Amino acid sequence: MHGRPRKAASKPEASAAKALKLRSVQSQFMSNHHRKIYTQEAIQLSAKLLAINPEAYTAWNYRKLAVEDNLSRIDDSDPSLVNSILNEELEVVAIALRRNLKSYGAWYHRKWVLSKGHSSLEKELQLLNKYQKLDLRNFHAWNYRRFVLELTKTPQQDELHYTTDMINDVSFSNYSAWHNRSELLSSLVAKKADGFMPKETIRRELDYVHNAIFTDEDDQSAWFYYLWLLDQTVKMETPLRTSSWPSDGSIIILSGPGCFNGSSSSSKFTTFCSESGSFPLILYFDQAVSGVSSSTVTIDSELQGNQDLVWEPVSDKNSQLSCVWVARLKFDSAEPCFRKENKVKVSLGKSQGIVSSRGCYLSAPYEFVFTVHIHDTVGEPQEGIVLWTDGFDNWDAQSKDLNSLITSDQLNADTGFEWRKQAIKIEIECFRDLHDSKFGKLILARLLMAEETMISDDAVKGVHYNEILQLYKDLMALNSSHDQYYKDEHSVALLHKVTSSTESLSRRLFLYRNMNNIVCLRLNNLTLSRIAAVEKFLFVQMLDLSHNELHSAEGLEAMQLLCCLNLCHNRIRSFSALDSLRHLKQLRVLDVSHNDMGGKHPVDTTRYLCSRPLSNSAEIGRQVPCKYWDAYLVLRDLKKLKQLDIIRGNDLIAGEEFSSFVRQVLPKLVWLDGHKLAS
């Protein structure tokens, strides 16, 4: 690590003798630990073990128990006895750190000793200076330094000067010093300390890091700090609602079961079919937020029974923080009132409560209004097979219906937009001088993407995308070891290009005649390896992502209206990569064929983070086979699925056993791999 050569391996004879000694000491130590023996001899034995192996976590925990036991036996009024016990612990840690300066257990134990409050913090800082001279970038030492400084209540401005000295006078190739600087600045800006307002601080730091970058453009430490600064420049402190469904000014038609049987719709992009008598209301924010509830989002609606809506975060991490929140508004299709306009007004931000992970509240109150018409039930639910090759009509590119569906919040000068835009423009001109450097190309691509997000004029929006895409292609050729990362970034840029205007998006929109002219977005054959820009097509009900290079369905969870999804001929190798689909409660048609799922690939460790579903085995009438656990955890939530293509091209899950398993998990399934199932 950090250019430091590893120590030469010891001779086999010496290693064997060392191992024998370690086993002997460890055996005696474990006997003392189990019998709770805390004599001086036993404590010294644990110190001997830690001197040999500082990573013996049980020994560190034993010493904590021994300290607590000894402290309970002495007179608290004699501080010298307490200090004697704690100083002995600090000495044991020092010996362990001489053996391994990056021992987690040793550093944690030292923190624990200091938390007792009987140690000299000044001595700790002196010791830290010594350790940091041995290894300037030891992140354990830097983390411990932050811990000690918090105890001493050292002003953060003073520590910021220390990082400046470490970078300027010792080495600017110091990841840990740059990281510590970012931690300090984040805190100072959040507290709005004197001289640390975002605009001035970011400009000052950008100028400062330029010196390191242009001194040695191949040194990565300054580049990582620059990327952090770029994120701070682009991200607003306060969260913003970027899109929603239904959108402001839109008109939607709600219908009960069977509405997909119709061959035409009276209006494009408006028909929503529901078997449960409700439809989703989706809010999409530019960053993960919490606090979305009926008290922070109010609904003024002529639809009955929607006074106290329950808002749920849409997240694979079971977190109360999410960019996407959804509530379900009720309607009664049994009492049609098509001629009556049901206005729904949604207001958010009037009362404080929607907050980001950084503790910033929603920037400003916002409201939007949409209109609802209700149709009665058209007929029995559809059971015909959905084909992805036939039955589509082109979308009229001249239609104005699309504009209201993809409108999103625009930043403005009141939210600090102008100075950020100007800062990005200055940086773009600066980094065009580093066009031959791989880091320079990456940063320039990031900067151009950032500027694109800030362009509000539709006439010039999208001007940078061709250059961005070419930069990532150049990076793939220059640096093949990071090829997948550049492919992912290329995919993100391409999807933003496709959705940058109604004209470009409409070229990929179609109407599916066989399901009441629902809208289909075709993003097939684009070599996409990552999904992005989903906030721009929340209204889509049918999505074709076939013949790409996707490894995961992550991102699709936001598309709550999605009823048909084609993921065939991608690179999705496991069912856990489809976990996002669990959130798509309207999904009726799914094609994941030809993905080589269940093939001979690296172990998918995410499956072991899931609970064993045997407790739910009653749901399908039998125990779930171990090899199908991850499939069960995804499919069990797709309760409305009627058509599934999964076995073709996924040879290791082919066969009657898996087919039988699928039919039991999905009792409403009508079509399996093109064959209609018996009733």
Mean of pLDDT values over 561-575: 95
The arithmetic mean of pLDDT across residues 499-503, rounded, is 87
Could you tell me the CA-to-CA distances from 217 to 68, 233, 359 in Å, in that order?
A: 52, 21, 35
Higher confidence at residue 652 or residue 448? 448
Q: Name which residue leads in pLDDT, 212 or 14.
A: 212
φ and ψ at 3, to 5 degrees?
A: 75, 10
Mean pLDDT of the chain: 84
Report the pLDDT value the prediction gives residue 358, as an integer from 0 to 100.
80
Tens of pLDDT, residue by residue over 577-601, are 999 999 999 999 999 999 988 655 4
Q: pLDDT tens, 623-636?
A: 676 778 888 999 99
Class of domain 241-260+267-378: mainly beta
Rounded to whole angstroms, how far apart are CA atoms 571 and 491?
Answer: 15
- Residue 40 confidence class, pLDDT cut points 50, 70, 90: very high
* Residue scoring higher pLDDT (318 or 617): 318
- Residues 629 and 616: their CA atoms lie apart, in Å, by 11
C-alpha to C-alpha distance for 178 and 142, rounded to whole angstroms:
11
Q: Are 286 and 236 a contacting pair, CB within 8 Å?
A: yes
The mean per-residue pLDDT over the stretch 558-582 comes to 94
Ranges of H-type helices in 216-349: 220-234
What is the arithmetic mean of pLDDT over 294-302?
Answer: 88
Q: Do domains 15-193 and 241-260+267-378 have the same CATH topology?
A: no
Count of CB atoms within 10 A of residue 219's CB? Answer: 16
Rounded to the nearest 10 degrees, the angle between the axes of helix 79-99 and helix 40-52 is: 30
8 A C-beta contact, residue 344 and residue 329: yes
pLDDT beyond 90 at 534: yes
Which residue has 């209006």 as its token pair? 267
The β-bridge partners of 327 are: 281
Closest among 74, 112, 80 to 93, alpha carbons compared? 112
The amino acid occupying position 382 is Q
Query: The domain 508-603+624-676 is classified under which CATH number: 1.10.1270.20, 3.80.10.10, 1.10.357.10, 3.30.360.10?
Result: 3.80.10.10
- How does residue 616 score in pLDDT terms, banded at 50, 70 and 90? very low
pLDDT tens-place string over residues 266-275: 444 467 776 6
Selected residue with higher pLDDT from 248 and 277: 248
pTM, 2 dp: 0.83
pLDDT at 152 over 80: yes
Residue 307, pLDDT > 80, answer no
Of 5-9, 67-71, 268-272, 378-382, the range with the lowest mean pLDDT is 5-9
Q: What is the mean pLDDT of residues 10-22?
A: 69
Which range (70-79, 534-543, 587-596) has the least confidence? Answer: 70-79
Map out the domains of the chain as residue ranges.
Answer: 15-193, 241-260+267-378, 415-455+459-496, 508-603+624-676
Determine if the peptide bond prior to 613 is cis (ω within 30°). Answer: no
Question: For residue 349, what pLDDT is reported?
Answer: 81
Specify the CATH number of the domain 15-193.
Answer: 1.25.40.120
Which has the closest alpha carbon to 313: 299, 297, 292? 292
pLDDT at 400 exceeding the cut of 50: yes
Partners of 676 in beta bridges? 671
Q: Would the pLDDT of 237 be above 50?
A: yes
